[in-house]
Chains A and B, each alone.
Chain A
Amino acid sequence: MLHMARLFVLFAFLLGMVSDAYAAGEILIGLAGPMTGDQSKLGGDIERGARLAIEEWNAKGGVLKKKIRLLVGDDQHDPKQAVSVANKMVNQGIIGMVGHFNSSASIPASSVYHRAGIPMITPASTNPKLTDQGFKNVFRVCGRDDQQGRVAADFAAKKLRVKKVAILHDKTTYGQGLADEFKKNLSRYASSGISVVYEGGLTQGERDFRGILIAVKAKAPELLYFGGIFPEGGLLARQAKEVGLTAPMMSGDGVIDPKFIEIAGAAAEGTYLTFTPDPEVLPQAKRFLTQYKAKHGNELAPYAIYAYDATNVLLTAIAGARQTKGDAVVGALRNLKYDGASGHIEFDQKGDVKESPYIVWITKGGKFETFWTPTP
């Protein structure tokens, strides 16, 4: 008798695990990024952005008359962990995925969602490869590094008019990818005498970059370009000044975070960063920013708005498709025209946004300010 009871409990438990989404009549949306570790702030930012969108939808009665629940996965910006998180999410029955954050996580995870036919919208992964794989279910609401690299190269050549450039990257899919795109676009200006005088990689998690910076300094570059994320970016800026490298630093959207300024201190001043326009000046972003700040304070969270938009786009597509089947939602996403908080969102053939206006920011007085807009 006892044996039977045990078996029953076990079965009930297993069933509970499998059907926990269906039984509750919920729509499960997945979100994944680095929730712990050195980049945990970035993961937290996208989670807060996505939650805001979901709360708004739930307040209006959810989607397809069901409440929406967010499942959060921690990939620790590790490709292996990302795949395991993706498998877990798929098994738990998510309808769509907002994430992952890092390109190095999104690319391997995307094939898991692809096999399961689940739509995936990343708010932050900018490596071109992600949407160049030809997966119909993969989208992004942020820009691409080839666009970002082009703007950075144009800026270096046309605005800064530098001749000698040093390039460093953190050997990750995102960092090295961005550095490569920058270099590729810079070569278009080779006729005007711009050359790359140093190129090298450093290891993510490393903290002493003096060796490589001294080697960079020996080549006397006029600009140091870095492809990577803020923990390394901040230390690079700081230690560059220490070894007497006076050339300004330039980097991309992985570095634009308040923590960069905290780590680099005064050495952050004058760093150029490519990023999308300031949401503060976008009229359509106003409502989002007011609500976000009321909840989470004034600290800058550059990616929260993209996660908010990605979630809204996904839920709008589910509502439009009137069902939760992956193919139908993906189809709805392809034809979607949505005015988000970050701008107009419409996907092209690959799943990239049609408009992605990168501009150049500068660090000034301990803050990020918009600095230069490329002329089309």
Chain B
Amino acid sequence: MLTGTGIWSHASPDKIRERYVFVQQLINGLTVGAIYALLALGYSMVYGVLGLINFAHGEIYMIGAYSGILYFHLLTAIGAAGWPPVSFLLLLFLGSAVTAVGYAVFLEQVAYRPLRSARSLSPLISAIGASVFLQNYVMLTQGSADLVFPTLFPNEPLSWTTVPISGVQAMMMFTSFSLMLALHLFVTKTRLGKGIRAVAQDKTMAALCGIDVNRLIMLTFAIGAILAAGAGVMVGMYNGTVHFSIGFMVGLKAFAAAVLGGIGSLPGAMVGGILLGLVESLGSAYLVSEFKDGFAFCLLILVLIVKPTGLFGDATQRS
């Protein structure tokens, strides 16, 4: 794998190994970054329509991961293990997405809608409360020990490529970028997408034009939940274990990614997430490994000092 053509030729073995390691770190960063991007989109969209930071979004991701394990065993029990992996995976994603959407919509109805006309601090506190509640709910119902996510994809580097990418990483990147593309098309090309953009611009005006604002806000939460569930299932597979606390740190980092890209901006969320993943991966590999979680926030602070609205904050503000 180390020899051959392309980027690996014309160099000494040490140089080749160095480059190989660098590319491997780059791919890790991209994989994790794509996950941050999916979650950051959820933060950014909800912020776009409501001006609310949905701190319980990380917990929707965690519930997505737990649902993944649940549906995996359910599907295996009905004999789906023999089906083609693609359809198995699609059903797994679908099941988790439906579950996560259920929780997210419920959350919107119970925790956020009654506070919609309240001052902005109240929904924020409600969001933090919802986050703590969901964590403890999952701890009580699923137990506090790590649950092992069954292996579905080969985790070894794929042998037919010259770049060190594993099966699960390839699947994750493909799925993440497909989801992002689908979201982009949905928001820019469809009537419902147009409606969401209208609500983001001006709720009152949108309502006057005959748009059902409540329904579109619910839809926004649902879309965020679908992306979060996909991220949760993929990370569950990738890392191997799931725990009720996994949503917290990832949620914080995804929020940082959304702010980094300019909160409310969808391209910003994508770029912010990927940038964060890369910085974290390369930073912990080449600078200090102990400081891995710190890089995300250092980057955030740096960008906010230079450009307080985030990278894409001005031109394309709000969805």
Q: Interface of A with B (CB < 8 Å)?
A: 36-38, 40-41, 171, 200-203, 205-208, 210-212, 214-215, 217-218, 231, 234-235, 238-239, 241-244, 259, 262-263, 265
Q: List the 9 closest A-B pairs by CB distance, nearest first.
A: A207-B239, A200-B289, A201-B290, A242-B155, A218-B21, A212-B289, A211-B284, A36-B144, A215-B285
Q: Which residues on A sit within 8 Å (CB–CB) of B284?
A: 211-212
B146 contact from A208, A263, A265, Cβ within 8 A: A263
Complexed CA–CA distance, A207 and B241 (Å): 7
B25 at the interface (CB under 8 A from A): yes
In Å, the complex CA distance between A34 and B76 comes to 33
B295 to chain A minimum Cβ distance, whole angstroms, is: 11
Distance in angstroms from B223 CB to nearest chain A CB is 26
**Is the beta-carbon distance between B241 and A211 smaller than 8 angstroms?**
no
Q: Is the CB of B146 within 8 A of A40?
A: no
Q: Which residue in chain B gives the minimum CB-CB distance to A214?
A: B24
B54 near A: Cβ within 8 Å? Answer: no
A234 contacts across to B, CB distance below 8 A:
240-241
Closest residue to B17 on the A side, CB-wise? A218
Shortest Cβ distance from A210 into chain B, in angstroms? 5
Query: Is B281 positioned at the interface, with any CB of A under 8 Å from its CB?
Result: yes
Q: A210-B28, A217-B21, A265-B151 are in contact. Are A259 and B285 (CB under 8 A)?
A: no
> How near does chain A come to B25, taking the closest CB pair, in angstroms?
6
List chain B residues, Cβ under 8 A from A242: 155-157, 166
Interface of A is mostly: helix
How far is B146's CA from A38's CA once the two chains are assembled, in angstroms?
A: 6
Known A218-B21, A231-B146; contact A205-B245, beta-carbon cutoff 8 A: yes
The total of interchain contacts (Cβ-Cβ below 8 angstroms) comes to 94
Known: A203-B290, A207-B243, A208-B28. 15 other contacts (CB 8 A): A36-B139, A38-B146, A171-B290, A207-B240, A211-B281, A211-B284, A212-B284, A214-B24, A217-B21, A231-B146, A234-B241, A235-B241, A239-B240, A259-B146, A263-B240
**CA gap between A325 and B245 in the complex, in Å:** 42
B interface, CB within 8 angstroms of A: 17-18, 21, 24-25, 28-29, 32, 139, 144-146, 148, 151, 155-157, 164, 166, 235, 238-241, 243, 245-246, 249, 280-281, 284-286, 289-290, 292-293
Task: Knowing A201-B289, A208-B32, A211-B289 are in contact, say whether A259-B145 is a contact too (CB < 8 A).
Answer: yes
A206 touches B24 (CB 8 A): no
- Specify which chain B residues have a CB less than 8 angstroms from the CB of A210 in the assembled complex: 28
Contact for A211 among B25, B239, B245, CB less than 8 A? B25
The binding surface of chain B is classed by DSSP as helix
User: Do A235 and B239 touch across chains, with their CB atoms under 8 A apart?
Assistant: yes
Note all chain B residues with C-beta closer than 8 A to A235: 239-241
A218 and B146: CB pair below 8 A?
no
Instruction: Across the interface, name the chain A residue whose C-beta is closest to B281.
Output: A211
| Chain B residue nearest to A41 in the complex (CB) | B145
Nearest Cβ on chain B to A365's Cβ, whole angstroms: 19
Instruction: State in angstroms the CA–CA spacing of A369 and B176 once bound together.
Output: 43
Closest to A36 in B: B144
B residues less than 8 Å from A217 (CB atoms): 21
User: Are A37 and B144 interface neighbours, CB within 8 A?
Assistant: yes
Task: Collect the chain B residues with CB atoms within 8 Å of residue A239's CB.
Answer: 155, 240
Taking CB as reference atom, which chain A residue is nearest B155? A242
B289 adjacent to A202 (CB under 8 Å): yes
Chain A contacts for B18, CB-based, 8 A: 218
Complex alpha-carbon distance, A265 and B151, angstroms: 10
Distance in Å from the Cβ of B209 to the closest Cβ of chain A?
Answer: 46
In the bound complex, do residue A238 and residue B240 qualify as a contact, i.e. CB atoms below 8 Å apart?
yes
Q: Smallest Cβ distance from A166 to chain B, in angstroms?
A: 12
Roughly how many angstroms separate A40 CA and B285 CA in the complex, as a whole number? 32
Bound Cα distance A88, B176 (Å): 49
In the complex, chain B residues whose CB is within 8 Å of the CB of A37: 144
Residues of A within 8 A of B21 (CB): 214-215, 217-218
Closest Cβ neighbor of B35 among chain A residues: A208
CB distance from B152 to the nearest CB of A (A): 13
Shortest C-beta distance, B46 to chain A (Å), equals 26
Give chain A nearest CB distance to B71 CB in angstroms. Answer: 20
- B25: A residues at CB distance < 8 A: 211, 214-215
What are the residues of chain B within 8 A of A200 when measuring CB–CB?
289-290
Question: Please, how many angstroms separate the alpha-carbon atoms of A265 and B152 in the complex?
Answer: 13
CA separation between A262 and B235, bound complex, in Å? 18
- Give the docked Cα–Cα distance between A299 and B106 (Å): 40
Among residues of A, the one whose C-beta sits closest to the C-beta of B143 is A40
Q: Closest residue of chain A to B28, judged by CB?
A: A210
Q: What are 27 pairs between A and B in contact, CB < 8 Å?
A: A36-B144, A41-B145, A202-B290, A205-B243, A205-B249, A207-B240, A207-B241, A207-B243, A210-B28, A211-B25, A211-B281, A211-B284, A212-B292, A214-B24, A215-B21, A215-B25, A218-B17, A231-B146, A231-B241, A235-B239, A239-B155, A241-B156, A242-B157, A242-B166, A262-B148, A263-B240, A265-B151
